Amino acid sequence: MSNFSFVQKSQLFSYSGTNCIRNDYYHNACQLCVEICPEGAFKVVRNKLTLFTNECIECAACIGSCPTEALSITSFDSNAYTKNFKENENKLLSCKKTTSCLGAFDAHHYITMALDSDVSPLCEMSHCDGCALNQDKKVENFIRLQIEKANNFLTLSGTKINIGTIEEKAVEENTKRSLFKVAFSKLKDAAQEDEKKDSLSMTLAYQKNPNKSGLPLKFLHFKQAIKENLPKITQTAHQINFDLFATKEISFKDCTNCGDCVQFCPTEALLHTLDKQGINFNVGNCIACGICDHICKTDAIKTVEGIDLVDFAYDRGKELVHYEMVMCHECRCPYPYRGGDPICDRCANYRVDFSHVFTLAKDM
Ligand code: SF4
Ligand code: SF4
Ligand code: SF4
Protein backbone atom coordinates (compact mmCIF):
# COMPACT_ATOMS: atom_id res chain seq x y z
CA MET A 1 0.00 0.00 0.00
CA SER A 2 1.01 3.60 -0.49
CA ASN A 3 3.01 5.18 2.29
CA PHE A 4 1.32 8.57 2.29
CA SER A 5 -1.68 9.38 4.46
CA PHE A 6 -4.73 11.01 2.96
CA VAL A 7 -8.24 10.89 4.43
CA GLN A 8 -11.42 12.72 3.42
CA LYS A 9 -14.13 12.70 6.03
CA SER A 10 -17.73 13.79 6.39
CA GLN A 11 -19.25 13.62 9.85
CA LEU A 12 -18.95 9.85 10.23
CA PHE A 13 -17.92 8.53 6.84
CA SER A 14 -14.27 8.38 5.75
CA TYR A 15 -12.49 7.76 2.50
CA SER A 16 -8.84 6.83 2.94
CA GLY A 17 -6.81 7.62 -0.16
CA THR A 18 -4.01 5.64 1.45
CA ASN A 19 -6.03 2.46 1.02
CA CYS A 20 -7.64 3.22 -2.35
CA ILE A 21 -6.14 0.96 -4.96
CA ARG A 22 -6.28 3.72 -7.58
CA ASN A 23 -3.52 5.48 -5.67
CA ASP A 24 -1.33 2.40 -5.52
CA TYR A 25 -1.23 2.10 -9.24
CA TYR A 26 -2.01 5.01 -11.54
CA HIS A 27 -3.63 2.88 -14.23
CA ASN A 28 -5.99 1.08 -11.88
CA ALA A 29 -9.46 2.08 -12.98
CA CYS A 30 -11.49 0.88 -9.99
CA GLN A 31 -14.56 3.02 -9.47
CA LEU A 32 -16.91 0.57 -7.78
CA CYS A 33 -17.79 3.11 -5.09
CA VAL A 34 -18.48 5.79 -7.73
CA GLU A 35 -20.91 3.45 -9.47
CA ILE A 36 -22.84 2.40 -6.39
CA CYS A 37 -23.10 5.71 -4.50
CA PRO A 38 -26.75 6.84 -4.80
CA GLU A 39 -25.79 10.49 -4.26
CA GLY A 40 -22.89 10.81 -6.68
CA ALA A 41 -20.68 11.80 -3.74
CA PHE A 42 -17.57 10.29 -5.36
CA LYS A 43 -16.00 11.76 -8.45
CA VAL A 44 -12.84 10.89 -10.30
CA VAL A 45 -10.88 14.11 -10.71
CA ARG A 46 -7.61 14.00 -12.66
CA ASN A 47 -7.70 10.22 -12.33
CA LYS A 48 -7.91 10.45 -8.53
CA LEU A 49 -10.95 9.59 -6.48
CA THR A 50 -12.44 12.51 -4.53
CA LEU A 51 -15.20 12.36 -1.93
CA PHE A 52 -17.48 15.40 -1.97
CA THR A 53 -18.22 15.31 1.74
CA ASN A 54 -21.22 17.67 1.53
CA GLU A 55 -22.95 15.23 -0.84
CA CYS A 56 -22.32 12.11 1.21
CA ILE A 57 -25.42 11.14 3.23
CA GLU A 58 -23.50 8.53 5.25
CA CYS A 59 -25.70 5.64 4.13
CA ALA A 60 -22.86 3.04 4.08
CA ALA A 61 -24.21 1.54 0.82
CA CYS A 62 -20.80 1.80 -0.88
CA ILE A 63 -18.66 0.31 1.88
CA GLY A 64 -18.81 -3.36 0.82
CA SER A 65 -17.93 -2.48 -2.77
CA CYS A 66 -14.41 -1.35 -1.94
CA PRO A 67 -11.95 -4.23 -2.40
CA THR A 68 -9.33 -2.59 -0.20
CA GLU A 69 -11.45 -1.11 2.61
CA ALA A 70 -10.74 2.50 1.80
CA LEU A 71 -14.27 3.35 2.96
CA SER A 72 -15.57 3.24 6.52
CA ILE A 73 -18.23 4.73 8.74
CA THR A 74 -18.01 5.03 12.50
CA SER A 75 -21.72 4.20 12.99
CA PHE A 76 -21.38 0.67 11.62
CA ASP A 77 -18.37 -1.60 11.27
CA SER A 78 -19.08 -4.48 8.91
CA ASN A 79 -15.87 -6.25 9.94
CA ALA A 80 -16.67 -6.12 13.65
CA TYR A 81 -20.24 -7.24 12.88
CA THR A 82 -18.95 -10.15 10.79
CA LYS A 83 -16.38 -11.19 13.35
CA ASN A 84 -18.92 -11.15 16.18
CA PHE A 85 -21.65 -12.79 14.10
CA LYS A 86 -21.05 -16.25 15.56
CA GLU A 87 -22.02 -14.89 19.00
CA ASN A 88 -25.34 -13.48 17.67
CA GLU A 89 -28.34 -15.60 18.49
CA ASN A 90 -30.24 -13.75 15.79
CA LYS A 91 -28.83 -14.64 12.37
CA LEU A 92 -30.88 -11.98 10.59
CA LEU A 93 -29.17 -9.22 8.61
CA SER A 94 -31.72 -6.44 8.26
CA CYS A 95 -31.04 -2.79 7.49
CA LYS A 96 -34.03 -1.89 9.67
CA LYS A 97 -33.10 -3.98 12.67
CA THR A 98 -29.53 -5.18 12.96
CA THR A 99 -27.20 -3.62 10.39
CA SER A 100 -26.67 -0.63 8.13
CA CYS A 101 -27.55 -0.98 4.43
CA LEU A 102 -26.43 -4.47 3.38
CA GLY A 103 -24.26 -2.74 0.76
CA ALA A 104 -21.73 -2.52 3.60
CA PHE A 105 -20.96 -6.25 3.15
CA ASP A 106 -19.35 -8.18 0.35
CA ALA A 107 -19.01 -11.89 -0.43
CA HIS A 108 -16.02 -12.22 1.94
CA HIS A 109 -18.18 -11.04 4.85
CA TYR A 110 -21.07 -13.33 3.94
CA ILE A 111 -18.84 -16.39 3.62
CA THR A 112 -17.17 -15.64 6.96
CA MET A 113 -20.55 -15.30 8.67
CA ALA A 114 -21.88 -18.50 7.05
CA LEU A 115 -18.81 -20.58 7.90
CA ASP A 116 -18.86 -19.37 11.50
CA SER A 117 -22.58 -20.24 11.90
CA ASP A 118 -24.49 -23.43 12.56
CA VAL A 119 -27.62 -22.08 10.86
CA SER A 120 -27.88 -20.15 7.60
CA PRO A 121 -27.74 -16.35 7.98
CA LEU A 122 -30.75 -14.59 6.50
CA CYS A 123 -30.61 -11.29 4.62
CA GLU A 124 -33.76 -9.20 4.60
CA MET A 125 -34.07 -8.01 0.99
CA SER A 126 -37.69 -6.87 1.25
CA HIS A 127 -36.64 -3.32 2.11
CA CYS A 128 -34.70 -2.79 -1.12
CA ASP A 129 -37.80 -2.31 -3.20
CA GLY A 130 -38.78 1.35 -2.82
CA CYS A 131 -35.66 2.29 -0.85
CA ALA A 132 -34.39 5.73 -1.83
CA LEU A 133 -30.81 4.39 -1.90
CA ASN A 134 -31.66 1.74 -4.44
CA GLN A 135 -31.65 3.89 -7.58
CA ASP A 136 -31.79 1.77 -10.74
CA LYS A 137 -31.53 -1.22 -8.39
CA LYS A 138 -27.76 -0.68 -8.24
CA VAL A 139 -27.45 -1.27 -4.51
CA GLU A 140 -29.81 -4.23 -4.56
CA ASN A 141 -28.02 -5.79 -7.53
CA PHE A 142 -24.71 -5.39 -5.73
CA ILE A 143 -26.06 -7.06 -2.58
CA ARG A 144 -27.61 -9.91 -4.56
CA LEU A 145 -24.40 -10.45 -6.53
CA GLN A 146 -22.37 -10.72 -3.32
CA ILE A 147 -24.86 -13.21 -1.84
CA GLU A 148 -24.80 -15.22 -5.07
CA LYS A 149 -20.99 -15.27 -5.11
CA ALA A 150 -20.91 -16.38 -1.48
CA ASN A 151 -23.51 -19.10 -2.06
CA ASN A 152 -21.73 -20.37 -5.15
CA PHE A 153 -18.56 -20.77 -3.10
CA LEU A 154 -20.34 -22.33 -0.11
CA THR A 155 -22.30 -24.81 -2.23
CA LEU A 156 -19.35 -25.95 -4.32
CA SER A 157 -17.26 -26.28 -1.18
CA GLY A 158 -19.81 -28.72 0.21
CA THR A 159 -20.83 -26.71 3.27
CA LYS A 160 -24.33 -27.26 4.61
CA ILE A 161 -24.82 -23.55 5.34
CA ASN A 162 -25.55 -20.82 2.83
CA ILE A 163 -26.98 -17.30 2.86
CA GLY A 164 -30.76 -17.11 2.71
CA THR A 165 -32.90 -14.11 1.80
CA ILE A 166 -36.27 -12.79 2.91
CA GLU A 167 -38.15 -11.42 -0.07
CA GLU A 168 -41.59 -10.33 1.16
CA LYS A 169 -42.21 -6.77 0.16
CA ALA A 170 -42.30 -4.15 2.88
CA VAL A 171 -44.87 -1.38 2.69
CA GLU A 172 -43.11 1.44 4.47
CA GLU A 173 -41.90 4.37 2.41
CA ASN A 174 -39.21 6.72 3.52
CA THR A 175 -37.56 9.73 1.98
CA LYS A 176 -33.83 9.44 1.66
CA ARG A 177 -32.92 11.69 4.53
CA SER A 178 -35.67 10.67 6.92
CA LEU A 179 -34.67 7.06 6.30
CA PHE A 180 -31.26 7.76 7.78
CA LYS A 181 -32.65 9.79 10.61
CA VAL A 182 -34.70 6.76 11.61
CA ALA A 183 -32.18 4.03 10.87
CA PHE A 184 -29.03 5.69 12.05
CA SER A 185 -29.88 8.26 14.67
CA LYS A 186 -29.17 5.90 17.55
CA LEU A 187 -26.14 4.39 15.90
CA LYS A 188 -24.76 7.85 15.13
CA ASP A 189 -25.28 9.08 18.68
CA ALA A 190 -23.47 6.01 19.97
CA ALA A 191 -20.68 6.47 17.42
CA GLN A 192 -20.22 10.12 18.34
CA GLU A 193 -20.09 9.19 21.99
CA ASP A 194 -17.50 6.56 21.14
CA GLU A 195 -15.49 9.08 19.16
CA LYS A 196 -15.46 11.41 22.13
CA LYS A 197 -14.06 8.57 24.16
CA ASP A 198 -11.47 8.17 21.43
CA SER A 199 -12.47 4.56 20.89
CA LEU A 200 -11.93 3.18 17.40
CA SER A 201 -13.87 0.69 15.39
CA MET A 202 -12.17 -2.63 14.68
CA THR A 203 -11.52 -1.62 11.07
CA LEU A 204 -10.17 1.84 11.88
CA ALA A 205 -7.99 0.44 14.65
CA TYR A 206 -6.61 -2.10 12.19
CA GLN A 207 -5.94 0.56 9.60
CA LYS A 208 -4.15 2.74 12.11
CA ASN A 209 -1.92 -0.09 13.26
CA PRO A 210 1.52 0.62 11.76
CA ASN A 211 2.32 -3.10 11.80
CA LYS A 212 -0.78 -4.16 9.86
CA SER A 213 -0.40 -6.26 6.75
CA GLY A 214 -1.47 -4.91 3.37
CA LEU A 215 -4.51 -7.18 3.44
CA PRO A 216 -7.99 -5.79 4.05
CA LEU A 217 -9.40 -6.92 7.40
CA LYS A 218 -12.39 -8.59 5.71
CA PHE A 219 -9.94 -10.72 3.74
CA LEU A 220 -8.05 -11.72 6.89
CA HIS A 221 -11.32 -12.69 8.59
CA PHE A 222 -12.34 -14.63 5.48
CA LYS A 223 -9.05 -16.53 5.43
CA GLN A 224 -9.26 -17.27 9.14
CA ALA A 225 -12.87 -18.51 8.78
CA ILE A 226 -11.80 -20.91 6.03
CA LYS A 227 -8.89 -22.15 8.13
CA GLU A 228 -10.97 -22.66 11.28
CA ASN A 229 -13.83 -24.32 9.40
CA LEU A 230 -11.90 -26.63 7.08
CA PRO A 231 -13.66 -29.67 8.62
CA LYS A 232 -16.97 -28.25 7.34
CA ILE A 233 -15.54 -27.86 3.83
CA THR A 234 -15.75 -31.17 2.01
CA GLN A 235 -14.41 -29.87 -1.31
CA THR A 236 -11.21 -27.84 -0.99
CA ALA A 237 -9.75 -28.12 -4.51
CA HIS A 238 -11.61 -26.10 -7.12
CA GLN A 239 -11.23 -25.50 -10.83
CA ILE A 240 -12.45 -21.89 -10.62
CA ASN A 241 -11.53 -18.76 -8.66
CA PHE A 242 -15.09 -17.71 -7.71
CA ASP A 243 -14.06 -14.11 -8.38
CA LEU A 244 -12.66 -14.24 -4.83
CA PHE A 245 -9.17 -15.64 -5.33
CA ALA A 246 -6.48 -15.50 -7.97
CA THR A 247 -3.87 -18.08 -8.76
CA LYS A 248 -0.87 -16.85 -10.76
CA GLU A 249 1.52 -18.24 -13.30
CA ILE A 250 4.62 -16.60 -14.80
CA SER A 251 5.96 -17.63 -18.19
CA PHE A 252 9.70 -18.23 -17.90
CA LYS A 253 10.05 -17.47 -21.60
CA ASP A 254 8.47 -14.00 -21.32
CA CYS A 255 9.43 -12.76 -17.84
CA THR A 256 12.37 -10.36 -17.79
CA ASN A 257 12.59 -10.34 -13.97
CA CYS A 258 12.00 -6.58 -14.04
CA GLY A 259 10.25 -6.78 -10.66
CA ASP A 260 7.38 -4.42 -11.56
CA CYS A 261 4.73 -6.92 -10.46
CA VAL A 262 6.50 -7.43 -7.13
CA GLN A 263 6.89 -3.71 -6.57
CA PHE A 264 3.26 -2.86 -7.29
CA CYS A 265 1.53 -5.83 -5.66
CA PRO A 266 -0.34 -4.08 -2.80
CA THR A 267 -0.43 -7.11 -0.49
CA GLU A 268 3.01 -8.69 -0.91
CA ALA A 269 1.44 -11.74 -2.53
CA LEU A 270 4.39 -11.52 -4.94
CA LEU A 271 7.88 -11.32 -3.47
CA HIS A 272 11.37 -11.84 -4.81
CA THR A 273 13.11 -14.97 -3.61
CA LEU A 274 15.93 -14.33 -1.16
CA ASP A 275 18.54 -14.56 -3.92
CA LYS A 276 16.46 -12.08 -6.02
CA GLN A 277 16.57 -14.51 -8.90
CA GLY A 278 13.00 -15.67 -8.69
CA ILE A 279 9.48 -14.63 -7.76
CA ASN A 280 7.39 -16.31 -5.06
CA PHE A 281 3.61 -16.16 -4.93
CA ASN A 282 1.52 -16.54 -1.77
CA VAL A 283 -2.04 -17.36 -2.84
CA GLY A 284 -3.25 -16.52 0.68
CA ASN A 285 -2.26 -12.90 0.21
CA CYS A 286 -3.68 -12.29 -3.24
CA ILE A 287 -6.81 -10.13 -3.34
CA ALA A 288 -7.20 -10.62 -7.11
CA CYS A 289 -6.76 -6.91 -7.82
CA GLY A 290 -5.25 -7.64 -11.25
CA ILE A 291 -2.52 -4.99 -10.98
CA CYS A 292 0.28 -7.46 -11.72
CA ASP A 293 -1.43 -8.76 -14.87
CA HIS A 294 -1.94 -5.20 -16.06
CA ILE A 295 1.49 -3.85 -15.27
CA CYS A 296 3.59 -6.61 -16.82
CA LYS A 297 5.00 -5.21 -20.07
CA THR A 298 5.60 -8.64 -21.57
CA ASP A 299 2.34 -10.29 -20.46
CA ALA A 300 4.43 -12.85 -18.61
CA ILE A 301 2.20 -13.05 -15.53
CA LYS A 302 -1.32 -14.38 -15.82
CA THR A 303 -4.25 -15.27 -13.62
CA VAL A 304 -5.26 -18.89 -13.97
CA GLU A 305 -8.45 -20.51 -12.73
CA GLY A 306 -8.33 -22.89 -9.81
CA ILE A 307 -7.76 -22.63 -6.07
CA ASP A 308 -6.80 -24.98 -3.29
CA LEU A 309 -8.40 -23.72 -0.09
CA VAL A 310 -5.83 -25.45 2.14
CA ASP A 311 -3.00 -23.65 0.32
CA PHE A 312 -4.96 -20.42 0.62
CA ALA A 313 -5.77 -20.77 4.33
CA TYR A 314 -2.21 -21.78 5.26
CA ASP A 315 -0.43 -19.20 3.07
CA ARG A 316 1.39 -21.83 1.08
CA GLY A 317 3.67 -20.05 -1.35
CA LYS A 318 5.29 -21.33 -4.48
CA GLU A 319 8.04 -20.13 -6.73
CA LEU A 320 6.55 -19.01 -10.03
CA VAL A 321 9.79 -18.41 -11.88
CA HIS A 322 13.51 -18.76 -11.24
CA TYR A 323 16.50 -17.48 -13.20
CA GLU A 324 20.16 -17.89 -13.48
CA MET A 325 21.59 -14.36 -13.66
CA VAL A 326 24.54 -14.04 -16.07
CA MET A 327 26.69 -11.17 -17.33
CA CYS A 328 25.62 -9.76 -20.71
CA HIS A 329 28.54 -10.03 -23.12
CA GLU A 330 27.72 -6.63 -24.63
CA CYS A 331 26.91 -4.26 -21.74
CA ARG A 332 28.42 -6.36 -18.89
CA CYS A 333 25.23 -6.00 -16.83
CA PRO A 334 23.61 -9.01 -15.13
CA TYR A 335 20.40 -10.23 -16.71
CA PRO A 336 18.13 -13.28 -16.41
CA TYR A 337 19.51 -15.88 -18.80
CA ARG A 338 16.94 -17.76 -20.86
CA GLY A 339 19.25 -19.68 -23.22
CA GLY A 340 20.99 -18.81 -26.49
CA ASP A 341 23.72 -16.16 -26.81
CA PRO A 342 24.48 -14.48 -23.48
CA ILE A 343 23.18 -11.06 -24.56
CA CYS A 344 20.47 -9.22 -22.60
CA ASP A 345 17.19 -8.17 -24.20
CA ARG A 346 18.17 -4.50 -24.07
CA CYS A 347 21.33 -5.08 -26.11
CA ALA A 348 19.59 -7.54 -28.42
CA ASN A 349 16.90 -4.96 -29.15
CA TYR A 350 19.28 -2.01 -29.25
CA ARG A 351 19.80 -1.87 -32.97
CA VAL A 352 16.11 -2.30 -33.66
CA ASP A 353 15.02 0.32 -31.10
CA PHE A 354 17.57 2.91 -32.23
CA SER A 355 17.63 2.13 -35.96
CA HIS A 356 16.34 5.66 -36.73
CA VAL A 357 19.33 7.17 -34.88
CA PHE A 358 21.77 5.00 -36.83
CA THR A 359 20.05 6.03 -40.08
CA LEU A 360 20.36 9.72 -39.16
CA ALA A 361 24.04 9.30 -38.23
CA LYS A 362 24.78 7.51 -41.49
CA ASP A 363 23.14 10.32 -43.48
CA MET A 364 25.14 13.08 -41.79
S1 SF4 B 1 -14.05 1.15 -4.44
FE2 SF4 B 1 -12.29 1.50 -3.06
S3 SF4 B 1 -10.45 1.07 -4.29
FE4 SF4 B 1 -12.19 1.36 -5.73
S5 SF4 B 1 -12.08 3.54 -6.28
FE6 SF4 B 1 -13.53 3.34 -4.55
S7 SF4 B 1 -12.25 3.73 -2.72
FE8 SF4 B 1 -10.83 3.29 -4.42
S1 SF4 C 1 6.19 -11.24 -14.58
FE2 SF4 C 1 6.28 -9.37 -15.85
S3 SF4 C 1 6.29 -7.66 -14.37
FE4 SF4 C 1 6.81 -9.55 -13.23
S5 SF4 C 1 9.05 -9.60 -13.24
FE6 SF4 C 1 8.36 -10.83 -14.99
S7 SF4 C 1 8.37 -9.37 -16.73
FE8 SF4 C 1 8.45 -8.12 -14.85
S1 SF4 D 1 -0.56 -10.95 -6.94
FE2 SF4 D 1 -2.74 -10.65 -6.46
S3 SF4 D 1 -2.78 -8.93 -4.99
FE4 SF4 D 1 -0.75 -8.90 -5.98
S5 SF4 D 1 -0.95 -7.48 -7.71
FE6 SF4 D 1 -1.38 -9.55 -8.50
S7 SF4 D 1 -3.61 -9.79 -8.35
FE8 SF4 D 1 -3.06 -8.03 -7.04
Secondary structure of the chain in HEC code, one letter for each residue = CCCCCCEEECCCEEEECCCCHHHHCCCCCCCHHHHHCCCCCEEEECCEEEECCCCCCCCCCCHHHCCCCCEEECCECHHHHHHCHHHCCCCEECCCCCCCCHHHCCHHHHHHHHHCCCCCCEEECCCCCCCCCCHHHHHHHHHHHHHHHHHHHHHHCCCCCCCEEECCCCCCCCCHHHHHHHHHHHHHHHHHHHHHCCCCCHHHHHHHCCCCCCCCHHHHHHHHHHHHCHHHCCCCEECCCCCCCCEEEECCCCCCCCCHHHHHCCCCCEEECCCCCEEEEEHHHCCCCCHHHHHCCCCCEEEECCEEHHHHHCCCEEEEEECEEEECCCCCCEEEECCCCCCCHHHHHHHHHCHHHHHHHHHC
Angle at 248 between CA 285 and CA 230, to 5 degrees: 50
Average pLDDT in the chain: 89
pLDDT at 192: 54
CA nearest to 112, candidates 257, 313, 250: 313
Pocket of ligand 1 (CB under 6 A): 20-22, 30-33, 49, 65-68, 70-71
The total of structural domains in the chain comes to 3
For residues 33-49, average pLDDT: 94
More confident residue, 177 or 260: 260
Q: Are residues 150 and 259 in the same domain?
A: no
Do 79 and 96 lie in a common domain? yes
218 and 308, same domain (yes or no): no
Looking at residue 185, what is its pLDDT? 54
Statement: residue 280 has pLDDT above 80 = yes
Q: Is the pLDDT of residue 49 over 90?
A: yes
Does the CB atom of residue 291 touch ligand 2 within 6 A?
Answer: no
CA of 252 to the centre of ligand 2 (A): 10
What pLDDT was estimated at residue 201? 82
Per the structure, the complete domain to which residue 341 belongs is given by 327-363
Residue 86 has pLDDT above 50, yes or no: yes
**Binning pLDDT at 50, 70 and 90, where does residue 1 land?**
very low
Q: Determine which residue's CA is closest to atom 6 belonging to ligand 1.
A: 33
Ligand 3 geometric centre to CA of 163 (Å)? 28
**pLDDT for position 165:** 98
- Is the pLDDT confidence value at 306 over 70? yes
- Based on the domain organization, do 66 and 210 belong to the same domain? yes
List pLDDT tens digits, range 154-169.
Answer: 999 999 999 999 998 6
pLDDT band at 363 (very low <50, low <70, confident <90, very high): low
Q: Is the pLDDT of residue 204 over 60?
A: yes
- Do 179 and 247 fall into the same domain? no
Q: Any residues with Cβ below 6 Å from ligand 3, and which?
A: 246, 248, 265-267, 269-270, 286-292
One domain for residues 27 and 90: yes
Ligand 2 atom closest to residue 257's alpha carbon, by position in its atom list? 5
Residues 259 and 123 in one domain: no
Q: Answer yes or no: do 168 and 216 share one domain.
A: yes
**In the prediction, which pLDDT does 197 show?**
44
CA of 53 to the centre of ligand 3 (A): 31
pLDDT at 245 over 70: yes
193, 228, 263 — which closes off a domain?
A: 228
- Give me the pLDDT at residue 46, please: 87
Please report which confidence band the pLDDT of residue 196 belongs to, taking 50, 70 and 90 as the band edges.
Answer: very low
pLDDT at 183 over 70: no
222 and 255 housed in the same domain: no
215 domain-assigned: yes
Domain shared by 257 and 341, yes or no? no
